[in-house]
Amino acid sequence: QKEVEQNSGPLSVPEGAIASLNCTYSDRGSQSFFWYRQYSGKSPELIMSIYSNGDKEDGRFTAQLNKASQYVSLLIRDSQPSDSATYLCAVTTGGGYNKLIFGAGTRLAVHP
Amino acid sequence: DAGVTQSPTHLIKTRGQHVTLRCSPISGHKSVSWYQQVLGQGPQFIFQYYEKEERGRGNFPDRFSARQFPNYSSELNVNALLLGDSALYLCASSIMGGAYEQYFGPGTRLTVT
């Protein structure tokens, strides 16, 4: 079982719709969870962090965390073509240092 | 404020050679982590340094080494390069060790021929 799993996609949504990206993780000791956006040929850009159960909203982005189910999600409201990218879910290990374990990413395509 | 910087941007090396990659963290950040990303995969953790000490090491061979300097910049060294070392090498900066947000630099694209 992979430590962090994401659907590779592509997830195709029309402009203006809500995009829902999902991620599951295996280490119950994980305490910090992050979503990064990566455009083709570029480095990952941090867009959301979440540390406790529930929802966290920042602009058009909402991160959701359910530690009991070991599940993290990212919702993108009013999706724009510029949101087309690969979204990486990252989880810190429970080992006491800040090692990030990444999923392979979900490719999102927003079409006009 | 300047973000994380890395040099060089691109690099082409031959099998068996050695390479040094460099990273400067965001001003005020004291922790640097290194990741390797191959096409189609997420970044893989190589090392973390905090206050000039190694705080974590990923599942990479001893050909990979790193260090952090008093000004918190860092370098990653890879010896005896293999074709499989071709990847994007990413440096990430965080304010300190622990479960803090990490910010990535633009990366160094290494091609081994």
Tell me whether B60 touches chain A (CB under 8 Å). Answer: no
Distance CA B57, CA A89 (A): 20
| Residue pointed to by tokens 């992979």 | A2
**Residues of chain B contacting A102 with CB distance shorter than 8 Å:** 42-44
**Measured between CB atoms, does B9 come within 8 Å of chain A?**
no
Contact between B65 and B77 under an 8 Å Cβ cutoff? The reply is yes
pLDDT, tens only, B51-95? 999 988 999 999 999 999 999 999 999 999 999 999 999 999 999
In whole angstroms, give the CA distance from residue B74 to residue B63: 17
Q: How do the pLDDT tens digits run along chain A, 112 residues long?
A: 679 999 988 999 999 999 999 999 998 888 899 999 999 999 999 999 999 999 999 999 999 999 999 999 999 999 999 999 999 999 987 665 668 899 999 999 999 9
Give the residue among B104, B89, B108 at the shortest CA–CA distance from B32. B104
- Distance between CA atoms of residues A4 and A6, nearest Å: 7
Contacting residues of B for A51, CB less than 8 Å apart: 99
